[in-house]
Structure formats: C-alpha cells, structure tokens
Amino acid sequence: MVIDVASLTGARLALPGVGPILAYLAVVLLCALLPFVLSFAADAGLLMLRRGRSVLPLLLTAAVCSLFVAATGFLLLELGLSLGGNTAAASSRLAEVAERLLLVCLPLAVLTVVVRQSISGLRHKAQSRRSAEVLYSGTETGQLAGSFDYVR
C-alpha cells in the first residue's frame, strides 16, 4: 500500500486506508449517483419520443454525464481494490453496500422519471389549453372576443 508520489524525488508516501475509502466512494458513485444520471438520460429520451421535437443536446449531455460517472466509478473501484488488497472479505462488504444502495436508489431513480414525465405532461396540457384559449378568444390575455367591437 505504498504509492509512488514523485518519480523526480523518489519520495514514497504511505497512505494506509486509502484503498477501502476509494472503493466505497466508487460503490457510491456506481450505485447511488449513476441510477439518477441514467434516469435523466431516460427522461430526455422519453421527452424526445413524446414531444417529437429535438432534444438531442439534452440526450447527448445525459449520455456524456452517465459515461463520465460510470468510468470514474470503475476507475476508482479498480484503484481502491488494488490499493486496499483485494480480499474476499472486502469484496463481500462492498457487494453488500452496493446491494443496499441499489435497493434504495434504483426505485427512487425510477420514481423521479415518472414524476418528471407526469409534470412535463401536465405542463404540456396546460400550455396547449392556454394556446387553445388564445385561438378561441383572439387575444393573449384571454379577454372576450367581442369586447372591442368598433363601429365604423
């Protein structure tokens, strides 16, 4: 568990306990943060299918963010396991923490997609109703159509 800090000076720094901390951080990134980032990507995709308009920048942003979080989590996990000694006990503890985090965070991420889609649907209905009222009355403020009849 010795990390070569500076190859120029040849100094070596011992960081005890850094490996398990990095491994737990990786598990939190992969099991708690990544489902929410992927729910954002799913929300963008559903919005694109539902509205029929281009939400491509949003979808690309969500894809890049999810790949970044997944790659960071994987690299931290590999680094943490290599620094902390890949023992069976450490791996089983990490798997238990990951299972419990997924048990909580995955349903919450799915719930956020459902809530965001329902809010988006309500906003879309309200906006279409408002535009129908404007077409019906002929004004943007919703005044009666015959309120400004000028006699010529």
- Is residue 7 a part of any domain in this protein? no
Residue 118 lies in a domain: yes
Examine residue 149 and state whether it is found in any structural domain, yes or no: no
Question: Is 65 a member of any domain?
Answer: yes
Q: Let me know if residue 2 belongs to a domain.
A: no
Q: Is residue 150 part of a domain?
A: no
**DSSP string across 59-84:** HHHHHHHHHHHHHHHHHHHHHHHHHH
Question: Per residue in 54-113, pLDDT tens?
Answer: 777 877 888 898 999 999 999 988 888 888 767 788 888 889 999 999 999 999 999 999
Give the total number of structural domains in the chain. 1
Give the separation between CA 47 and CA 62, rounded to whole angstroms.
13
pLDDT digits (tens, 9 = 90+) for 10-25: 444 456 677 888 888 9
Domain holding 131, by residue range, is: 18-137
| Residue 130 located in a structural domain | yes
Residue 32 lies inside a defined structural domain of this protein: yes
Model pTM above 0.85: no
